[in-house]
Structures are given as structure tokens and as C-alpha cells.
Chain A
């Protein structure tokens, strides 16, 4: 048996430190919303040869009269260069305006063989709607999980078990958000999906441990203290927790490595924070949710005996 409860303060300190560093990173890097959430337009072109980004910026700004930001990016795997034109705007860029951008750029850089690669336009209003929807989805998932755990684990104090599981989930959600901020990945719908997946995955982990506590309580009954009960249960399910996490971590890492080598931005931005979330999920389940729940139970007993 590993004494998780005894060492809980170390675990809590590690978690608080990690979450604090996410918050510090948020102040340093700022939280960027992708145009999917804040609205605006991104047009990407592939090209060869030379393009001056500042010059391109001026040309586009003149043509459509909106604040423009142009960036150049080269892709190692495909020997291709990209010109990324992003326009923040209060109103979505019309498709005619996008056509204009393409034609002025083609005229300005006739030898660059500009070709449209990707284009995304989102109305700010719709973007806000997406963002709010995503937040509702995350909130709803917390609520439903709390209700489900509360109902299914009634005999080990379901609601408190659910509440502690939610604390662990919030921990994971913060770590994933931190990963997005530290790696400067703008938040978009893959952020919502990553958070939800980690929530689902981490609670799955926690439930396996709760299930073991439920079973051990039946077997060991009142013979052992809550501490011992929880520590035994966690120790018993630990090989499983670690092995499952190895399998999931391996899969998502393979996805990340391939997305990195072949430069698939959308998948990379989703897989990287997920890798952190998986480690965090495994950690929070073992080191946070269990000890927290034990503290809660101990506290309840103390109150009870004080009244008696």
C-alpha cells in the first residue's frame, strides 16, 4: 500500500504550483482567442520565391481598408512557404473582399505563384455564440458527472465523491488551458473538445478508484480507517491507471508526432494540450481526488463525533 494520504500536502503543493504557473503564463503570453471565437478572417496562400510580409500587409490594407496582419511560414516537410493574412474585423469579410485580396496580392507578387490554400471567415457574433456554447458544454458536463457519480456511489457518500471528482476535473481543465496558453495556441473549438475529452477521460479514471473504494468498503467494512481504505483502493487500481494512461498517451503522442512532422496545424494544436491533460488526469485521480475525499470524510466524522 502506498501512503497517498500522508503525502497529500506535497501533491497539493505540486498542483497549486502548476496552476499558478499557468496563471502567470496567462499574464505573460495573454489568452488568445482564435478567430473561430472572436470573429475575423484568415486567408492562407502557398507561394514560392520571395514575398515581403510588410509590403503585403500594406497592399491588403489599402485594398480592403481593414487592419491586416501578414505572416510568413515555411514548412520543412513539404518544401513550401505560406503567406498567412489575418484580418480582425467587427464585420466578417465578404467573399468579394477576399477575392480582391487574392487579386491584389497576385498582381503585386506575379512571380510567387500564389495559390489559395485555406480560408476561414467567422462573423464575430457567431464566434461569440460558439464560445458561449463551448463554455455551456463544459459546465453541463461537470453538472451531469456530479449527478451521475452522486447517484451511482450513494453508499460511499456520492455527492462528496462527486464534488471531489469535480475538483480534480477542474484541476485538469486548468492544466489543459495552461498548456494552450504556454504554447501560445489560440483557443478555438478544439480547445473545447480537448477539455471535454480530458474531463471524460479523467473522470473515468476516478470512477475506477471510487468503484474499488465501494467494493473494499463492503469487504473490509469498518475494520479500517478511511485513510487506509482509500490508500489501499488507489494502490490496487494503480497498475491499471498507469497502463491505461500509457496506452492513451502513446496514441495521442503518435498523433502529435505525425501532425508535427507533416505540419497539420489543426491536429497539432489539439493533440499537444491533450498530452498534458492525460498526464494531469492520471495524476489528479491518484494524488488529488482520493486524498481530498478522505479529508472530507474525516472531517465529517469529526463533526459527527463532536456532536455525539
Chain B
């Protein structure tokens, strides 16, 4: 008798979690900032995904070269006000991948142009206060960021070519007490003040706030000495109108699918069917949370994965309900029918779910781009199915069977004749 309230506790908990997950979704739709803001793939919010590779390079680029290439792309995006972006370096394949959204209010934004401009060779220049160029990217052999041994201050060191050393010695002699501005393209990236004449081709930039700032600056300087320019190999552009329309359609499809599956379960299985609907809601809630908490990118196939697992999710409940029905028809009492129904169904639910999990993991490992999200939502669906379809369902059915009014075997699918 004690377990009567368990059903209501689970229902309340599911409802609370669901509201939490949906609340996060709503914030996402209104584009309010929040921790639970959904992260949509470019096929939903509209955007650009471009893979840059070194042009005409007959060897694999080194890691520092890739970091420098990344610095170029980031500085340029800063300059064109693209702040909401994602730049990743693929070390093993020597690529830099750039993703940024194309917002619906940007009517005159030309993504193709933006992408080709981003990949142009960076032009690094050191200029005197009058704007005359004293040193170019090619004059810098290498730059690196370090912590100085004697005073623990971060510095950027420059190693110049022979040519560069001569030019720099002349310039620093002339400009003591003044600043030399460092530009990438037309963006000022640093303006260190010359303390003394620098000969020998080794210079240091001091007065930097942190090691991070120092390495950012050194990456940018290195980018000017990059022996290659970047070329786009894979490009994927989707306009925002196309994406946002698709999202609302898929959300609607999800609701309809959910309603249909629930209706089917309720009509066919009565009380176990009701339990299945609540378990299903819990499963979807879990999937939504699994997407929003780690900010995993949700794409259209990802939503299809959620909807598909709504269908697949009832499987555990169907197996259990069928078993309970069978046990009741052999004349068992309700309580023992429920217990043995769950027990006997467990191994097939377990084995079945493990195989779907194997497939989902393979999809995550091998899936490219937007399909990754499909594998992920499918995997979360299967895992949540263990929690919701097996554990929560069992607790709920047991709890409901304690109510006198709900103890007729027919409510659990038994034939009328069996008492």
C-alpha cells in the first residue's frame, strides 16, 4: 500500500523535468541567453560551414602553422563582426573548420564572399607612426610566446630573417620611444613601444597581460609568415529562412507523432498504455536535456532521431504489456503477473537495446556532419529507454495496481473471462 504515491511522484517529476527542458527550448527560440539554450546546427539556424586547407602545400602542415591559420581566420571574423562562431583545428588531417551562423536579419550578407575573403593570404605589416611599412610578414621567421625567467612576465619573442634583422635595426634606431604598430591586413593587433635599438634579429614584445594574450599575438604574427594561403575544400551554406522553417515543421511532426503513438498505446493497452505515454514523455525529456546540458549541436536529422525513438521507445512497454497480458491469461494474480511480466521481458529489452546502442555508437563514430546528431539522439533515446521504459514504468504500474479501482485484469489486457 505504501507505493501508491509513487505514480504521482514520477508523473510530477516527469512534468517538472519536461517543463525545464522545454523552458530551455523556449529560451532558445526567443534567442535569450541562458545555460540551457539549445545549440542548433547550421541546417536549422542557417549558416556556413567551411573546411580550409593549405593551398599547394606538398607536406602536412605543422600544428603551429595550423594554429597560426586559425588565428588569421579568427582575426578576420572579428574584423567582420562575426562573433558567434566556432573554429576548430583538425590536426590529423591538416584542416581548419569554420562554422558561423547566418542570421535572418542579415539581408545583405553575402556568405560566399565572406568565406572567400576569410581564406585570403594574411598580410602582416609592422608600421611606423606615419603608417610607413618597416617590416613585412616574410621578414619574420618565427614568433613564440613564453614566460620570462627573471620576472615571470609573459612575452612574445620574434626571430627575424637576415633581411628583416637589418630593416628592424634601422627602424628601431629611428623610432626609440615611439611605437611600432603591428597590423594583420588592416586590423591593428599590437602597438609595442620601442625601448632601444634592436640588432641581431631577435626582439621581444613585453607588457602583455597574460600568457594567453601572448600566444594569441604570437599566432597572429606567425600567420603572416605562413608559407601557404588557405583554400576552401568543403563548403556548406544554408540560408536562415530555409532552416527555421524546417525546425518548426519538424517540431510539429514530433508533436503529432507523439500524440499518435500515445493514442495507440492508450487504446490498445489501457493502464500499461498510460504508463507507456508517461515513460515516453520522460524519455523525450531526457533526450532534450542530454542535448541542451552539454550544448550538443542539434540538426534536422537529430530531430528525426528523437521522433524515431518515440516510435522505438514504446517497444519496451509493448513487450512488458504483452507479457503481463499473457501471465494474466494463464490465471495469475495481478501482482504476480506484473512482476513476472517485467522479469521475463527484461532480457529481450536488454539485448534489443544493446544492439541499437551498438549501431548508434557506430553512427556517432563514423557519422559525418549533421548525421552525428542523429546517432547521438538515437543513443540517448535508447539509454533513456532503460530508465523510463523499464525502471520508471515498473514503478508506475506497481503503484497503480495498488488502487482498488484499477485492479480489474481487463484494464491490463486480460481476456474478460479470466478472473
| A residues apposed to B, CB below 8 Å | 36, 78, 92, 94-96, 98-99, 102, 115-123, 126, 130, 133-134, 136-137, 140-141, 144-145, 148-149, 152, 189-190, 192-193, 196-197, 199-201, 203-205, 207-208, 210-212, 214-215, 236-237, 239-240, 243-244, 246-252, 254-255, 257-259, 261-262, 264, 266-267, 270-271, 274
Q: B358–A134 contact, CB under 8 A? A: no
- B188 within 8 Å of A by Cβ? no
User: From residue B367, how far is it (CB to closest CB) to chain A in Å?
Assistant: 7
Q: A141–B242 contact, CB under 8 A? A: no
CA separation between A255 and B246, bound complex, in Å? 11
Q: B366–A190 contact, CB under 8 A? A: no
CA separation between A240 and B356, bound complex, in Å? 17
Q: Which residue of A lies closest to B236 (CB)?
A: A120
Q: A152–B356 contact, CB under 8 A? A: no
Q: Can you list, as one digit per residue, whether each of B159-200 has a CB less than 8 Å from chain A (1) or not (0)?
A: 000000000000000000000000000000000000000000
Q: Cβ of A36: which chain B residues have Cβ within 8 Å of it?
A: 368
| B residues apposed to A, CB below 8 Å | 43, 50-51, 110-113, 115-116, 119, 231-239, 241-242, 245-246, 249-250, 252-253, 256-257, 260-261, 264-265, 268, 300-301, 304, 307-308, 310-312, 314-315, 318-319, 322, 326, 344, 347-348, 351-356, 358-360, 362-363, 365-371, 374-375, 378
* Known interface pairs A95-B232, A266-B300; A207-B355 also in contact (CB < 8 Å): yes
CA separation between A211 and B43, bound complex, in Å? 41
Q: B355–A148 contact, CB under 8 A? A: yes
User: From residue A49, how far is it (CB to closest CB) to chain B in Å?
Assistant: 19
Q: B235–A98 contact, CB under 8 A? A: yes
Q: B374–A200 contact, CB under 8 A? A: no
* Known interface pairs A204-B352, A258-B253; A118-B311 also in contact (CB < 8 Å): no
* Known interface pairs A121-B236, A201-B312; A95-B371 also in contact (CB < 8 Å): no
* Known interface pairs A117-B242, A140-B362, A254-B253; A189-B312 also in contact (CB < 8 Å): no
Q: A267–B300 contact, CB under 8 A? A: yes
CA separation between A121 and B260, bound complex, in Å? 39
* Known interface pairs A204-B356, A262-B245; A92-B378 also in contact (CB < 8 Å): no
* Known interface pairs A134-B366, A193-B371; A247-B261 also in contact (CB < 8 Å): yes
CA separation between A270 and B115, bound complex, in Å? 29
Q: Which residue of B lies closest to A254 (CB)?
A: B257
* Known interface pairs A119-B237, A192-B371, A262-B246; A95-B119 also in contact (CB < 8 Å): yes
User: From residue A209, how far is it (CB to closest CB) to chain B in Å?
Assistant: 9
Q: Which of A120, A141, A215, A244 contacts B318 (CB 8 A)?
A: A244
* Known interface pairs A117-B242, A126-B234, A190-B371; A271-B304 also in contact (CB < 8 Å): yes
Q: Cβ of A95: which chain B residues have Cβ within 8 Å of it?
A: 50, 112, 115-116, 119, 232, 235
CA separation between A233 and B298, bound complex, in Å? 40
* Number of cross-chain contacts by CB at 8 Å: 226
User: From residue A160, how far is it (CB to closest CB) to chain B in Å?
Assistant: 17
Q: A193–B308 contact, CB under 8 A? A: no
- The secondary structure that dominates the A interface is helix
CA separation between A210 and B246, bound complex, in Å? 40
Q: B235–A246 contact, CB under 8 A? A: no
Q: Which residue of A lies closest to B117 (CB)?
A: A95
Given contacts A211-B351, A258-B253, 4 further A-B contacts (CB under 8 A): A98-B116, A116-B239, A200-B359, A244-B312
CA separation between A98 and B231, bound complex, in Å? 13
Q: A211–B245 contact, CB under 8 A? A: no
Q: A247–B264 contact, CB under 8 A? A: yes
Q: Which residue of B lies closest to A95 (CB)?
A: B116
Q: Which residue of B lies closest to A165 (CB)?
A: B355
User: From residue B322, how far is it (CB to closest CB) to chain A in Å?
Assistant: 5
A-B contact pairs, 7 of them (CB 8 A): A116-B110, A119-B238, A126-B234, A148-B354, A247-B315, A250-B261, A259-B253
Q: B119–A243 contact, CB under 8 A? A: no
* Known interface pairs A144-B358, A189-B371, A254-B257; A247-B311 also in contact (CB < 8 Å): yes
Q: A248–B246 contact, CB under 8 A? A: no
Q: Cβ of B369: which chain A residues have Cβ within 8 Å of it?
A: 189
Most buried by A among B236, B260, B355, B374: B355
Q: B264–A246 contact, CB under 8 A? A: yes
Q: A115–B245 contact, CB under 8 A? A: no
Q: A133–B368 contact, CB under 8 A? A: yes
Q: Cβ of B232: which chain A residues have Cβ within 8 Å of it?
A: 92, 94-95, 121
Q: Which of A119, A215, A264 contacts B344 (CB 8 A)?
A: A215
User: From residue B362, how far is it (CB to closest CB) to chain A in Å?
Assistant: 5
CA separation between A130 and B360, bound complex, in Å? 17
* Known interface pairs A136-B366, A199-B359; A98-B112 also in contact (CB < 8 Å): yes
Q: Cβ of B246: which chain A residues have Cβ within 8 Å of it?
A: 262, 264, 267
